[in-house]
Amino acid sequence: EVQLLESGGGLVQPGGSLRLSCAASGFTFSSYAMTWVRQAPGKGLEWVSAISSGGGSTYYADSVKGRFTISRDNSKNTLFLQLNSLRAEDTAVYYCAKDKGAAGANWFDPWGQGTLVTVSS
Amino acid sequence: EIVMTQSPATLSVSPGERATLSCRASQSVSSSLAWYQQKPGQAPRLLIYGASTRATGIPARFSGSGSGTEFTLTISSLQSEDFAVYYCQQYNNWPRTFGQGTKVGIK
């Protein structure tokens, strides 16, 4: 069974940093692209970032470009999202999700349960 | 960026009735369109990919259609467990984009 478990969320002050992790199991992690999607409280889904299976290609939403960095450690079956220069509008549940293929050109299935990031002073 | 627009925002349906949800893309996304279901406090779940292919384990009462810029998700006979928010998402272009969601509630 494919499982994705996010961690690393919490309360951080504006301008601060956090590193989110997503531990994957139940599939060959190194063969699949991965993505992060966030959801602000009471709002819809917003795609944040994606990374190809080998890590050589990365993609970002304009709203996070230059502040967030996606990466992965295929030896540890773990996906990361480094969040810097955080703003109040970054407050959201952050989900990691598995892409159907290696290049990140597909749909997302399954999703983890999410980790909450709250940016507030 | 491709803007995905879903309608209606809210849909009230009686159990056993048919529900039809629409999703429009601001430019063609071919058939690179997925639908997700999200219940309160849960992560989204994939329902449909490729505009019309049901994901593994998804009941046959869910069907998707369309291509280009106009897409439809149909739930043929609503069950109690189908009351949720539904999102469409395009994966034809970067950045990936979602619609704002359609909430299907009990009438």
Rounded-to-5 percentages of helix, strand, coil across chain B:
5, 50, 50
Spatial CB neighbours of A88, under 8 Å, sequence gap ≥ 6 = A14, A119, A120
Spatial CB neighbours of A7, under 8 Å, sequence gap ≥ 6 = A20, A21, A22, A23, A115
B9–A contact, CB cutoff 8 A: no
Q: Name the band, by pLDDT with cuts 50, 70 and 90, for residue A105.
A: confident
d(CA A117, CA A73): 22
A107–B contact, CB cutoff 8 A: yes
A106 → closest Cβ in B36, B91, B99: B91
The whole-number average pLDDT for the span A57-77 is 97
Chain A to chain B Cβ contacts (< 8 Å): 56
Shortest Cα–Cα distance, A49 to chain B (Å): 8
Q: Which of B31, B96, B98, B100 to probe by mutation at the A interface, max A CB count within 10 Å?
A: B96
d(CA B19, CA A45): 22
The structure tokens listed for B7 are 């309608």
Q: Name the band, by pLDDT with cuts 50, 70 and 90, for residue A32.
A: very high
What's the confidence (pLDDT) of residue A103?
78
B24–A contact, CB cutoff 8 A: no
CB A112 to CB B43 under 8 A? yes
A108 → closest Cβ in B46, B94, B95: B46
- pLDDT beyond 90 at B25: yes
The whole-number average pLDDT for the span A46-50 is 97
Tens digits of residue pLDDT in B44-80 = 999 999 999 999 999 999 999 999 999 999 999 999 9
What's the confidence (pLDDT) of residue A50?
96
- pLDDT beyond 80 at A104: no
Q: In this structure, what are the phi and psi dihedrals at residue B80, rounded to the nearest 5 degrees?
A: -60, -35
Q: Name the band, by pLDDT with cuts 50, 70 and 90, for residue A6.
A: very high
Taking CA–CA distances from A105, the nearest residue in chain B reads B91
Q: Name the band, by pLDDT with cuts 50, 70 and 90, for residue A102.
A: confident
Work out the end-to-end distance of chain A between its first and last CA atoms, rounded to an integer number of angstroms.
40
3-state secondary structure of A90: helix
Q: Report the range of poorest mean pLDDT among A97-106, A112-121, B97-106.
A: A97-106
Work out the number of other CB atoms within 10 angstroms of the CB of residue A76.
12
